Amino acid sequence: MKDLLQLLEKNHAQTIDQLSTMLDKPKEEIEAQIKQLEAEKIILKYHTIIDWEKANIDKVTAIIEVKVTPQREVGFDALAERIYRFPEVRSLYLTSGSYDLLVFIEGQSLKDVGKFVSEKLSTIDGVISTTTHFMLKNYKEAGVIIDDIEKDHRLVVTP
Amino acid sequence: MNWSERISPIVKSVPPSGIRRFFDIAAEMDDVISLGIGEPDFVTPWHIRESCVYGLQKGYTSYTSNYGLLELRQSIAKNIQNNYHVSYNPHNEILVTVGVSEALDLAMRALLSPGDEVLIPEPCYVSYKTCVILSGGIPVPVPTTIENEFRVTPEQLEKYLTPKTKILLIGYPNNPTGAILTEKELLQIADFAKRHDLIVISDEIYAHLTYEGNHICFAGLPEMRDRTILLNGFSKAYAMTGWRLGYALSNPDFIAAMTKIHQYTMLCAPITAQVAAIEALEHGEDEMRKMMASYNCRRRLMIEGFRSMNLPCFEPKGAFYIFPSIKETGLSSMEFAEALLKAEHVALVPGNAFGDSGEGYVRCSYATSLDKLSQALERIQRFINQF
Ligand SMILES: Cc1ncc(COP(=O)(O)O)c(C=O)c1O
């Protein structure tokens, strides 16, 4: 199953035929496995990695460190939920260290993001402080190097 | 000046490479998909490259001991011990060379007297026979066949044995066929070598790319360590072809003899590559396994692809080659390869480049991206449909 997940993580557009050959398993088995992985939400979604800058579509991403007071019984989870339900939040992590939550925000403009932080995020009960870092350049996304200059330098035919 | 008159007769006797001519045609085209490349499509894993850069920053730019950096030899010894349970003394039983290529050349030069014969199962890597010829020896090809999955057997070897036979040179997993030998088969070969008191040179450069069972190291077979020259390197397993680094393991007296030649002709292998190779051996296992898993997926795709075209091919179990038969097209290997290249812009290597017994086959390397492999298979299918 790990093999299958690894192949799908790299490229989910492979056909069942191909997957079945590559993993040396019957097609029916692969098909059933994928269905099950989807049903169990082990596979959550098939995602496309886009170089938005190259597409000339403006986006502003900010990474915000958030300190919060954990709440009795629910710890960080309830607060986290209040944050991640906003569609502006792209990713949210609980971390160890000098702050608690790491929030990735995406907006159309600096103003958008600023407004979200000051009006929505900082005003949530339990949020003690926020530190906002605007992202200047994306070098690598989900394991993919954005502007990879490495080329195939091999000769056409070698022994 | 008439240079060709002055070139040594031995060099003149070496036939030009069968790959070369082909290469010239392919290099002219721009949308060629090449299945003709005998090296990994991966770039060397970053941690290995990075350690080389760090080494340069720290000033590793000098010559090393003729044998190679001791730390590298220690890593090699540890690696061989862990993988195959054969022990070599890093002080006098290991020589670090400029690729397996140099190690092969040194071994031949250190062993052969004029007229000595070397048994070489065929199809085989292009350099084997030439290395023997350049050292004054006589290569004796031992043909293997698809019916026997390109394995060599003692019975076949026996047929080519003469009182002049001195060496048996084997390379499994095999380039170009992808064949491997099982332990049982290797034991029979070992028995043959012992009976006839032959030295065995075992080129195990594809050892880590074995897809079924574990690779069996020839030197690890009973009583074989002392008559074996074990060759291996970094080119294939760690995707380090351009670094030019390999090694030879053998008896101290023989390593000393090889080192004598190496010392005067090469001095030492490049230190930059040696520094990186330590990193590869010490921390490269994970990346290597990932690359191997990826080759294995592609291997299955290729087998399936050729079988569905009705081109007979046996299942290669090692290296990154597949060696289908094209006899049914009625073309020779060379004709097939040229026609395919011209019609469909797919480059592969005619089987006869690896010896006469490769005639009727073509070598396809699957060290190329999945996308390109699928496209290449489609193009080959289209080409085959004419027949
Ligand atoms: C069987 C075999 N031996 C040796 C070599 C040469 O390897 P190296 O890069 O270590 O000189 C190759 C390279 O293609 C090979 O296929």
Phi, psi of B302 (to 5 degrees): -70, -40
CATH number of A60-137: 3.30.70.920
Q: What is the band of B27 on the pLDDT scale with cuts at 50, 70, 90?
A: confident
Q: What is the pLDDT of residues A63-85, one digit of tens each?
A: 999 999 988 888 899 999 999 99
Average pLDDT over residues A48-67: 94
Q: What is the pLDDT of residue B82?
A: 97
Distance separating alpha carbons of residues B71 and B60, to the nearest angstrom? 13
Average pLDDT over residues A6-30: 94
Q: How many residue pairs from chains A and B have C-beta atoms closer than 8 A?
A: 55
Q: DSSP labels for A60-97? A: EEEEEEEEEPPBTTTBTHHHHHHHHTSTTEEEEEE-SS
Give chain B's mean pLDDT.
96
Contact B349, B19 (CB under 8 A): yes
Q: What is the pLDDT of residue A74?
A: 82
- Minimum mean pLDDT range among A8-12, A25-29, B364-368: A8-12
How is residue B169 written in tokens?
């040179």
Run of H or E including A143: none
Phi, psi of A96 (to 5 degrees): -95, 165
User: What number of CA atoms fall less than 13 Å from residue B246's CA on the CB side?
Assistant: 25
Strand partners of residue A145:
A140
Q: CA triplet B83, B105, B267: central angle to 5 degrees?
A: 90
Q: What is the pLDDT of residues B211-227, one digit of tens each?
A: 999 999 999 999 999 99
Contact B353, B130 (CB under 8 A): no
Sheet holding B349-350, edge to edge: B321-322, B362-365, B349-350
Q: Which residues line ligand 1 (CB under 6 A)?
A: A 159; B 38, 99-101, 125, 171, 175, 203, 205, 233, 235, 241, 246
Q: What is the band of B20 on the pLDDT scale with cuts at 50, 70, 90?
A: confident
Ligand 1 geometric centre to CA of A113 (Å): 56
The pLDDT of residue B26 is above 90 = no
Percent of chain B whose pLDDT exceeds 70: 100
Q: What is the pLDDT of residue B19?
A: 75
Q: What is the pLDDT of residue A75?
A: 87
Sequence-ordered list of residues with C-beta below 8 angstroms from that of B123, at least 6 positions apart, any chain? B144, B150, B174, B176, B177, B323, B351, B354, B355, B357, B358, B361
Distance separating alpha carbons of residues B272 and B54, to the nearest angstrom? 10
Q: What is the pLDDT of residue B352?
A: 95
Sequence-ordered list of residues with C-beta below 8 angstroms from that of A71, at least 6 positions apart, any chain? A78, A79, A126
In chain A, where the domains are located: 2-39, 60-137
Q: What is the pLDDT of residue B15?
A: 84
B212 touches A: beta carbon within 8 Å: no
Taking only Cα atoms into account, the Rg of chain B, rounded to an integer number of angstroms, comes to 21
Contact B86, B76 (CB under 8 A): no
CB-based burial label for B233 (10 Å; 0-12, 13-18, 19+): buried
Alpha helices in B167-324 (DSSP H): 183-195, 252-265, 271-283, 285-308
Give residue B309's identity as a one-letter amino acid code: M
Q: What is the band of B110 on the pLDDT scale with cuts at 50, 70, 90?
A: very high
Total count of residues recorded for chain B? 387
For residue B246, which of B214, B215, B270, B221 has the smallest C-alpha distance?
B270
The pLDDT of residue A7 is above 90 = yes
Q: What is the pLDDT of residue B197?
A: 98
Distance separating alpha carbons of residues B210 and A87, to the nearest angstrom? 49
pTM of the model: 0.93
Q: For residue B223, is it left (φ>0), alpha (ψ between -120 and 50) or beta?
A: left
Q: Which of A7, A21, A155 sits opposite B23 (nearest CB)?
A: A155
Structural domains in chain B plus CATH codes: 3-44+286-384 (3.90.1150.10), 46-284 (3.40.640.10)
Beta-carbon count within 10 A of B265 CB: 12
Q: What is the pLDDT of residue B190?
A: 98
Residue whose CB lies within 8 A of the most ligand 1 atoms, among B175, B177, B266, for a mutation test? B175
CB contact under 8 A, A157 and B34: yes
Q: DSSP labels for B320-356? A: TEE--B-GGGT--HHHHHHHHHHHH-EE-EEGGGG-G
Q: What is the pLDDT of residues B240-276, one digit of tens each?
A: 999 999 999 999 999 999 999 999 999 999 999 999 9
Q: What is the pLDDT of residues B147-185, one digit of tens each?
A: 999 999 999 999 999 999 999 999 999 999 999 999 999
A125 touches B: beta carbon within 8 Å: no
For residue A88, which of A102, A75, A106 has the smallest C-alpha distance?
A106
B34 touches A: beta carbon within 8 Å: yes
Fill in the DSSP letter of residue B87.
-
Q: What is the pLDDT of residue B335?
A: 94
Q: What is the band of B356 on the pLDDT scale with cuts at 50, 70, 90?
A: very high
Beta-carbon count within 10 A of B256 CB: 15
Three-state secondary-structure class, residue B284: coil
CB-based burial label for A136 (10 Å; 0-12, 13-18, 19+): exposed
Average pLDDT over residues A115-121: 95
A159 touches B: beta carbon within 8 Å: yes
Distance separating alpha carbons of residues B174 and B319, to the nearest angstrom? 7
The pLDDT of residue A40 is above 90 = yes
B295 touches A: beta carbon within 8 Å: no
Give residue B237's identity as a one-letter amino acid code: A
Average pLDDT over residues B121-135: 97
Distance separating alpha carbons of residues B318 and A58, to the nearest angstrom? 49
Q: DSSP labels for A15-78? A: -HHHHHHHHT--HHHHHHHHHHHHHTTSS--------TTTTT---EEEEEEEEEPPBTTTBTHH
A-chain residues within 8 Å CB-CB of B43? 150
Q: What is the pLDDT of residues A140-155, one digit of tens each?
A: 999 999 999 888 999 9
